[in-house]
Amino acid sequence: MYAHVAESASDILLASYDAVPYGGGAIAGTRPDYLAAAARLRGLTTPPIRGCRVLDLGCATGGNLLSMALSLPESNFVGIDLSPRQIASARNAAKTIGVSNVQFEAMSITDVDEELGTFDYIVSHGVYSWVPPRVQKALLEVCSKSLAPEGLAYVSYNTYPGWHARGLVRDMMLFHDRPELSPAARVQRARDLLKSVADGVPKSDQVYAAVLQEEIATLSEASETYFMHEELESENHPVYFIDFAQRAAATGLQYVSEVIPSLTDTQISGDLRATLRSWSADNLQYEQYFDFVRNRTFRRSLLCHAGRTVEVEPTAAGVPSMHLRARCFVDTDAPEAKQPDCTCSSTRARPHCHSTRCSRRAEPDSAAPTPFPPTRSPTRCCAVRSLG
Ligand SMILES: C[S@@+](CC[C@H](N)C(=O)[O-])C[C@H]1O[C@@H](n2cnc3c(N)ncnc32)[C@H](O)[C@@H]1O
């Protein structure tokens, strides 16, 4: 009975993504060099980037994998997705742009076996919370069984407590939904509902009004595709971090860190951090307390095989093996920003005075390496090299 229900859930998902493909592009933080950098900051050794094997579980139309495959021609990429229409589109795009180090397969995560081989990096973005429990379990099992000994897995998912408020709004929109309508009409219907309800909330209920306004703001920029598959999709199962970490542990994986550190995290005071630590039996509990403070809605978690030594706090030990890239803003108020012998009235910075009126304005240095990404004044970036 359970198997039959789960099969139906996947059938519904397949039809949904075939009808409205998820046309995602490159996804921040899923590149193998990014994952390796995050892991090295926790004291882990990582597989070389050059020549690595990467698996993307639920790759949709392949945009993320194709961008990686283009920039890492010596590495090998495999993307799988349940939706044959999306895989056909991914294969077509690979052919059009002439990328040969990537392979796309229309298959379920539940059917991945040793035939695909092992991978140094496994990524699954926007899939774990959006599939039925049986597929969630299989996803973590694949991350464990198909991962090389020093490999890294990236899994993103919706989390509680933040999704309690978002779920309230989603439930309302699901109640109002008419699946027989076109995607555009369904999304408009949901937006109309949200606006009417928000307009009607009694002034006395400020908390509810704030929740609705926040959601309206979040969804105002959302694409039709995102809206359909996030808010109106049959499957969306947020999870507490602690439960996710325990499920990962049950398949022989362990939590390393978040892949993209959040600025908000740094705004939490040292005193509160110390209090949360004092309540926590281990780092996983600490992370969960942190989510309560942050009201977190989404995580991008990095996993490795259980039994490896993972530093709880970032360590500088791995930094010498990396090159750094930073966005640096010139502080034009700093006294040293003014060129000492500059005669113009500009207070712009050295080494390149940006004023077009300045006679001493520095000419571009043709011998200098091209900045990456290209410099946008007044931001200056230093070049970056891949790890490995
Ligand atoms: C929200 S989309 C995310 C797509 C892509 N990873 C991204 O972030 O752009 C979820 C994807 O998971 C795929 N999917 C759902 N169930 C699956 C399964 N059992 N096996 C493989 N892919 C599945 C869907 O077809 C869809 O492409």
| 381 plus 241 within the same structural domain | no
- Tell me, using a 6 A CB cutoff, whether residue 83 lines ligand 1: yes
**Quick one: 327 and 279 in the same domain?**
no
Query: pLDDT tens-digit profile of 38-84?
Result: 999 999 999 999 999 999 999 999 999 999 999 999 999 999 999 99
Q: What is the pLDDT of residue 388?
A: 44
Q: Which of 321, 329, 319 is nearest to 381 (CA)?
A: 329
- Of the listed ranges 85-99, 132-146, 243-257, 355-369, the least confidently predicted one is 355-369
Q: In the predicted model, what is the mean pLDDT of residues 220-248?
A: 92
- The pTM of the full predicted model, rounded to 2 decimals, is 0.83
Q: Is the peptide bond before 378 cis (omega within 30 degrees of 0)?
A: yes
Long-range contacts (CB closer than 8 Å, 24 or more residues apart) made by 284-290: 284/241, 284/242, 284/245, 284/246, 284/255, 285/242, 287/241, 287/242, 287/245, 287/255, 288/240, 288/241, 288/242, 290/265
Q: pLDDT grade, residue 255 (50/70/90)? A: very high
Q: Which residue lies with its CA nearest to atom 17 of ligand 1?
A: 82
- Centroid of ligand 1 to alpha carbon of 94 (angstroms): 18
One domain for residues 251 and 366? no
Domain assignment of residue 372, yes or no: yes
Task: Indicate if ligand 1 lies below 6 Å from the C-beta of 231.
Answer: no
pLDDT tens track for 124-174: 999 999 999 999 999 999 999 999 999 999 999 999 999 999 999 999 999
Residue 203 in domain: no
Domain shared by 25 and 122, yes or no: yes
For residue 16, the CA-to-ligand 1 centroid distance in Å is 11
Residue 102 placed within a domain: yes
- Atom 27 of ligand 1: nearest residue by CA position: 60
pLDDT at residue number 174? 95
Is any ligand 1 atom within 6 A of the Cβ of residue 130? yes
Q: Distance from the CA of 127 to the center of ligand 1, in angstroms? A: 5
Task: Tell me which residue has its CA closest to atom 10 in ligand 1.
Answer: 127
Domain of residue 256 covers 9-161+236-305
Answer yes or no: is the C-beta of 61 below 6 A from any ligand 1 atom: no
In a domain, 17, yes or no: yes
Q: Does the C-beta of 53 come closer than 6 Å to ligand 1?
A: no
List the residue whose alpha carbon is closest to atom 4 of ligand 1.
60
CA 155 to CA 245: how far, in whole Å? 11
Q: What percent of the chain has pLDDT over 70?
A: 82
185: in domain: no
Q: How far is the CA of 82 from the centre of ligand 1 (A)?
A: 7
Closest-CA residue, ligand 1 atom 11, reads 58
In a domain, 291, yes or no: yes
Determine contact, residues 343/359, Cβ cutoff 8 Å: yes
Q: Are residues 296 and 358 in the same domain?
A: no
Name the domain count of the chain.
2
187 located within any domain? no
- Average pLDDT over every residue of 325-348: 60
Ligand 1 centre from 215 Cα, in Å?
24
In a shared domain, residues 101 and 41: yes
Residue 305 and residue 252 in contact, taking contact as beta carbons nearer than 8 Å: yes
The pLDDT of residue 334: 67
Under the banding of pLDDT at 50, 70 and 90, the label for residue 383 is very low
Residue 230: its pLDDT value, please?
86
Q: Is 127 exposed, middle or buried (0-12, 13-18, 19+ CB in 10 A)?
A: buried
**pLDDT for residue 378 is more than 60:** no
Q: Ligand 1 mean position to 58 CA, how many Å?
A: 4
CATH value at residue 121: 3.40.50.150
Residue 113 exposed, middle or buried by CB count within 10 Å (0-12, 13-18, 19+): exposed
111 lies in a domain? yes
Q: Answer whether 48 contacts ligand 1 (Cβ < 6 A).
A: no
Classify residue 253 by burial, with Cβ atoms within 10 Å: 0-12, 13-18, 19+.
buried
pLDDT (0 to 100) of residue 373: 40
More confident: 93 or 18: 93
pLDDT exceeds 70 at position 384: no
